[in-house]
A and B are shown apart, each in its own frame.
Chain A
Amino acid sequence: MEHRHLLPDEIDQLLDGEAGFGVAPLQAHVESCAQCRAELAEARQVVSALERLPHLAPSPMFADRIMSQVQVFEPWHVAAIDSVKQWVPASRSARVAGIATTAVVALVVSVAAVWTAVRLDAFLFFFDLAGQRVRVALFDAVGSAIASTFGDAAVTALRVGGITAAVGITGFLALVVLAAVGLRAIFATARRRRT
């Protein structure tokens, strides 16, 4: 190493701070050779100048221009979590109260569900009873409406004719409604043309 100056690659090895076999003799040579020391210093100066180079700034609207062309897609589960988070109270005490209320409601609903499952026969009985009462009330109301509109004969025909009479009456009503809507549309068009 004493008999020659450093090669360019050897200077690069020292610049990169490599610490392998063969670097120690290079360092020893640099300490004893003024020319190689100057060359290494010059190389370090270039590296130092490179490392001091600043980052250049694009124009102020650069980010906005990019964002106007970027598709920001929010997956459904993230949107759902955010929606839920909106309802979570900010304060700790309110959160505790909310959790307690939710727990009580969940407990009541669970007990009700279990009771319903255990006493399914009783539940079905009451459900059927309520259904019957609603049906009777509905038929009475419809019968009264038909009787007051078309007379008792229509109600009798409906009872005798069953489904056929019901379809006939419904069709007739539908035709009346359609005719009314059609006439209204024709009059509206004529009015628009006049104006």
Chain B
Amino acid sequence: MRLQEINPSVKAGAVVIAIILLAFAFDPVTPLLVLLGSSAAACRFGGVSVKKWLLCLSPFLLIAIGYVWSAMLFGRVPSGAHAQILWSFGPLQVTAAGVSRGISLGLRVMSFAALSLLFVLTTSPSHFMFSLMQQCRFSPKIAYGILAGYRFLPLLKEELAVIRTAHRIRRMGVTGGWADQVKQLGRYAIPLLASAIRKAERTAMAMESKGFTGSRQRTFYLRLSVTAKDWLFLAAVVAFVLVSFYISGRLGQLSWYSGEL
């Protein structure tokens, strides 16, 4: 079985359910297990190379570190508990509870990211749109409208690069201060947006000239369906999260997020 073959809507649903389930837990072990599990699945069943996986995940490590850091310093101090102070600097105190909380938060971010990447790296954009239309009764007008805009991604990236060079030349090597740099961003954005909007109008016109009305009465050359293996995938994802809960519980680590509120 390959993850690419799973129906995109079901795959998206499974990932969202897993994330919502995970949001209830608040401990380091559950998200760690899910993080490891989805990494293994992506590399084993998704054909994603380990290098690419780590590369995509790495920005989240930075964010996670930020969470750890601030939870350690600004974490809510449990009232009445004997806070075990590990380290202090002036008014700042780092407690054992704070550290554990920070790590939980950080791993939570990482596990969400891993589940999401599992979807993103194994799903073709057009198949996802087809599936939304066919399985979720998503409006074709919106689905094709989205695809039409998405197509412009590489073009707009190139355009931005050209605009930046062009402006560099116009400015003749004169660089302004910080405020000017911010203004400069606006000077890039407006031409980029203006040309994108005009392209959008033309594209919409071209689509309508090919008889696209946005009506749901259309045929599909590529029919996507939901089969037993898709339900199996959904069940496997949910089961994995539940098993993680169980293991964490057995290790005495599991705590519920609602308790924190």
> Do A and B interact with each other, yes or no?
no
